Structure 1
Amino acid sequence: MAAPAMLLLVAAGLALCVALLWLRRRPAGPEGARGRVCVAVLGDLGRSPRMQYHALALARHGHGVTLLGFLSTKPHSDILCNEKIHIVSVSELKVLQVGPKIFQYITKVIAQAIQLFYTMLKIDRPSYILLQNPPGLPSIAVTWMVCLVRRSKLIIDWHNYGYTVMSLIHGKSHPIVQIAEWYEKLFGRLSDYNFCVTNAMKEDLQMNCNIKTDSERPDVEKSAFTELDIRNGNVTQVKERPALLISSTSWTEDEDFSILLKALEDYEEYVSDGIKLPSLVCVITGKGPLKKHYNRLIDKMHFKHIQICTPWLEAEDYPVLLGSADLGVCLHKSSSGLDLPMKVVDMFGCCLPVCAVHFQCLYELVKHDENGLIFRDSNELAEQLKMLLLEFPTAESKLYTFRRMLRASKQLRWDESWEQAVLPVFRNKS
């Protein structure tokens, strides 16, 4: 490791020791702090719907909530208007563009750790800190130290593994990825309670990380969205109207949108060959590092029967679009194979049929040919689009059949599922 990086580590360690000694002399805080929860994510709050749902559910059950994270995107208006929820912004730090890459990365991690530690010490003392992972480096270790000092309980909500996300960029054998794996498993064991999103992740946490999840129903990934009445009106019966296809993404390496673009090229050929299919309006929402790359590819495509747009929607507008759409497409491929795409959950909440790309535990959410379709490549997706949209928008179409099945299925709403799986931890383990 470079000498400057070592000096930074030593300085950060000394500063941390001083802060710990000072804080241990402070009183624990007022009795009224009991029940306060800090919901934290070292990421964009506006693009962290599950953590926003947690904050709203906690506030609804009488807890004061500090919602902590980046404010790159505006959170939902329900968050902004809730008097029990106090938003604390953390600055999103950029990597230094000087020195070796390892030095740049270490410098950023140290700076983030110091900033996060300082910010968490300034907020009202929480009884619990509910932390999203990933990203967990350095947030898990920092949050654990804060909990140690402030006598709070650490709860980790495992969405995925951070080291598997990093491996998409650096490769599994990269030293940074291996260090991140060791770190995540070590500090993950120091949490007081844990939630996760799939049974597969629950088993993996237990077997490979020796981490036990506290929820008897780890699949608390239920949607807060509902179907709009617009589909029951005349718009569904309008002949010759285009079909609205929706996909959402973070534009990252775990979603290959070239699959969708190739399938759309095949779909265009089907229509040009005389197959009676509707025109498509394809809306791909989201922000992320690969958006410019895919926009350049889209700009080079010249369709007669397909329009593609890639807007960013505010939190209030996204469920309206889902509730108005005809078909959803999910290209999320879990880096670990153990998490579930929230976008599919929200689509199902709107009774929106979904085509989703295959990965290891997707079967826990999407049942092929029951509540959706699973594809493995662009050819399968193109065939599914053709099959679903034949006879669109009539009630005889396969798409309408899937929608009818989703309406008939009795799915727990987010509130009901959260009260069963999450609330007992805050009620019975204070």
Structure 2
Amino acid sequence: MADASTILAAFSLLVFGLLGGFYLTSLNAVWVLIPAVFIAALSLTLLRTLLRGDALLERHVCVLVLGDIGRSPRMQYHALSLSRNGYSVTFVGYLGTKPHNDVIRDERIRIIPISEVKGLQVGPRMLTYVSKVIVQSLQLLMVLLRTEVSSHIIMQNPPGLPSMAVTWLVCNLRGSKFIIDWHNYGYTIMALSHGPKHPIVWLAQWYEQLFGRFSNQNLCVTSAMKDDLQNNWNIKATTLYDKPPAIFKETPVELQHNLFMRLSQSYPQFQACGEKPSRQLDRTAFTIQDPSDLSVTLTSGRPALLVSSTSWTEDEDFSILLKALEGYELLVTAGASLPSLVCVITGKGPQKDHYMKLIATLSFEHVKICTPWLEAEDYPVLLGSADLGVCLHKSSSGLDLPMKVVDMFGCCLPVCAIHFNCLQELVKHEENGLIFKDSVELAEQLKSLLWDFPSGEGKLAQFRRNLRASGGQRWDENWNQNVLPLLTGS
């Protein structure tokens, strides 16, 4: 095989040819696209010649996400399922947040971290963007070429620029099969900040459509997305619904108490009567432990625990929840038979500081809000301890489903979720949760679900019973039915 510097030089010609064509085309210099594509084609031929002869490893798969591995649960589940089926896995992505311990401890899974890069910080914004894509392309190419030659590369999209083109190239050169796992469309996410008619959004859509057709197989998260890929882009995909793994389940009260005790050390919202827990007073706002036999029970006058999780991005408007909580506070203050409320919002993301400032302006007596970051092992314990989940995810494409709701349902936790086009594939209104359109409707739903809490006779308890009765398929069974045949050819 050729040395790294020769490969780098050849690939540089390819990247500069393609991206140079994209950039100049956006400036209406369409005529320059022909020589750019010609250079790219020559470079591809050179690279294929240089890399010919690698030995394919049939029981090895590369899982790629151009993002934080720890915040990419579906890709972690892919890696674990591959390992359970006897595959060795190379897991490539950013190491910003700690992955789940099962991924870290698995001897068949090798994590190869890549670092986030920045483009040129001077000149036009387009130049900054193009330079970043070029650097990311070269970095990702060198990382993938240094890994074992996999039978398949499973890549998350979005983000797909530049990983989609680089992955296709590596698969083409090495004889690997290229699988795209479509979580959403990258161009619709870009449209949230740039507007749908911006040239860069148009280029991103063209790019996704072009390289999406170069894949060997495709997975997607909803039937609506499957139909959209087929009808609009002529891409055939297999629907792999997000399903909760076995770690998402109702939490025994003893484990609830342990989590609440730990959280109360940092978050007063979990403290009983505002007092820090001690050996003499082993209780939280929700639980109490009998010192004689160490048994744990839920306190009779406890607040309701409402949980939401977020990436703090533009596709989730948390002002809707904050306004609904304002309405709830007014109801309790007016004497409604409603419990106090502890609202826990977990997650990291770019808009968190903005919402933290909004939360700081609120003056509530009966509603408390905290925003902890939880380790991967604690998150399912929290969901399994909660009384109600809230989801504010509005799909940028209207074609994906929120994994947070899948996880909540795995814990038999009823959900209030904001409406968008294909949500009904997951949330059944008045059966396992409620669907709302605005803050007024959400406030009314909180009132109806938490009336006379914690009575086991209301609508909230009925939703939980429905979730228990429905059971539902878990991730491993779902994966074995839908993904394993793509790998084995069966």
Whole-Å Cα distance in 2 between the matches of residues 232 and 289 of structure 1?
32
In structure 1, the residue matched to 2:299 is: 238
Shift of 1:98: 1.4
SS at match of 1:247: strand
In structure 1, the residue matched to 2:315 is: 254
Whole-Å Cα distance in 2 between the matches of residues 292 and 118 of structure 1?
36
Whole-Å Cα distance in 1 between the matches of residues 14 and 64 of structure 2?
29
SS at match of 1:35: strand
Relative contact order, higher structure (CA 8 A, sep 6+)? 1
Question: Could you tell me the percent identity over the aligned residues?
Answer: 62
Pairing partner for 2:117 from 83, 90, 93? 93
Is 1:222 aligned with 2:246? no
Is 1:202 aligned with 2:226? yes
Pairing partner for 2:97 from 63, 67, 73? 73
Contact 1:8 1:107 in 2 (8 A): no
Shift of 1:396: 1.7
Are residues 228 and 341 of structure 1, via their aligned partners in 2, closer, same or farther at CA, if it must alter by over 3 Å? same
1:390-427 C-alpha deviation (Å, 9 max, x unpaired)? 11112123211111110011300111111111111112
Contact 2:88 2:108 in 1 (8 A): yes
Gaps of at least 5 residues in structure 1 are 1-5
1:37-85 C-alpha deviation (Å, 9 max, x unpaired)? 0010101100000000000000000001011111111110000000000
Are residues 314 and 156 of structure 1, via their aligned partners in 2, closer, same or farther at CA, if it must alter by over 3 Å? same
Shift of 1:356: 0.2
Is 1:158 aligned with 2:219? no
1:303-331 C-alpha deviation (Å, 9 max, x unpaired)? 11111111111111111111111110000
Contact 1:352 1:403 in 2 (8 A): yes
Shift of 1:35: 2.1
Are residues 90 and 232 of structure 1, via their aligned partners in 2, closer, same or farther at CA, if it must alter by over 3 Å? closer
1:349-392 C-alpha deviation (Å, 9 max, x unpaired)? 00000000000000000000011100000000000001111111
Query: Which structure has the bigger radius of gyration?
Result: 2
SS at match of 1:312: coil
In structure 1, the residue matched to 2:270 is: none
SS at match of 2:219: strand
SS at match of 1:250: coil
Contact 2:47 2:173 in 1 (8 A): no
Q: Partner amino acid for 2:241? A: V
Is 1:320 aligned with 2:381? yes
Whole-Å Cα distance in 1 between the matches of residues 249 and 48 of structure 2?
46
Contact 1:56 1:79 in 2 (8 A): yes
In structure 1, the residue matched to 2:77 is: 53
Whole-Å Cα distance in 2 between the matches of residues 414 and 318 of structure 1?
17
Q: CA RMSD in A?
A: 2.2
1:89-136 C-alpha deviation (Å, 9 max, x unpaired)? 111113443111111111111111111111111111111000000001
Whole-Å Cα distance in 2 between the matches of residues 68 and 370 of structure 1?
40
Contact 2:51 2:173 in 1 (8 A): no
Whole-Å Cα distance in 1 between the matches of residues 173 and 131 of structure 2?
25
Shift of 1:20: 6.6
SS at match of 1:41: strand
1:243-279 C-alpha deviation (Å, 9 max, x unpaired)? 1111000100000000000000000000000001111
Whole-Å Cα distance in 2 between the matches of residues 17 and 132 of structure 1?
28
Whole-Å Cα distance in 1 between the matches of residues 367 and 448 of structure 2?
17
Shift of 1:281: 0.8
Whole-Å Cα distance in 2 between the matches of residues 117 and 319 of structure 1?
36
Q: Partner amino acid for 1:301? A: L
For 1:6-25, list aligned pairs within 5 A.
Answer: 9=16, 21=46, 24-25=49-50
Contact 1:284 1:310 in 2 (8 A): yes
Pairing partner for 1:129 from 153, 156, 160? 153
SS at match of 2:384: helix
Whole-Å Cα distance in 2 between the matches of residues 51 and 209 of structure 1?
24
In structure 2, the residue matched to 1:138 is: 162
Question: TM-score, length-normalised on structure 2?
Answer: 0.82
In structure 1, the residue matched to 2:412 is: 351
Are residues 101 and 8 of structure 1, via their aligned partners in 2, closer, same or farther at CA, if it must alter by over 3 Å? farther
1:278-310 C-alpha deviation (Å, 9 max, x unpaired)? 111111111111000000000111111111111
Whole-Å Cα distance in 2 between the matches of residues 11 and 189 of structure 1?
17
Whole-Å Cα distance in 2 between the matches of residues 143 and 8 of structure 1?
13
Shift of 1:7: 12
Shift of 1:34: 1.2
Are residues 142 and 26 of structure 1, via their aligned partners in 2, closer, same or farther at CA, if it must alter by over 3 Å? closer
Shift of 1:238: 2.8
For 1:172-183, list aligned pairs within 5 A.
Answer: 172-183=196-207
Q: Partner amino acid for 2:243? A: K
Q: Partner amino acid for 2:76? A: Q
In structure 1, the residue matched to 2:292 is: none
Whole-Å Cα distance in 1 between the matches of residues 432 and 70 of structure 2?
29
Gaps of at least 5 residues in structure 2 are 1-12, 20-35, 257-285, 288-296
In structure 2, the residue matched to 1:340 is: 401
Pairing partner for 1:83 from 72, 82, 107? 107
Q: Partner amino acid for 1:122? A: R
Pairing partner for 2:469 from 384, 408, 426? 408
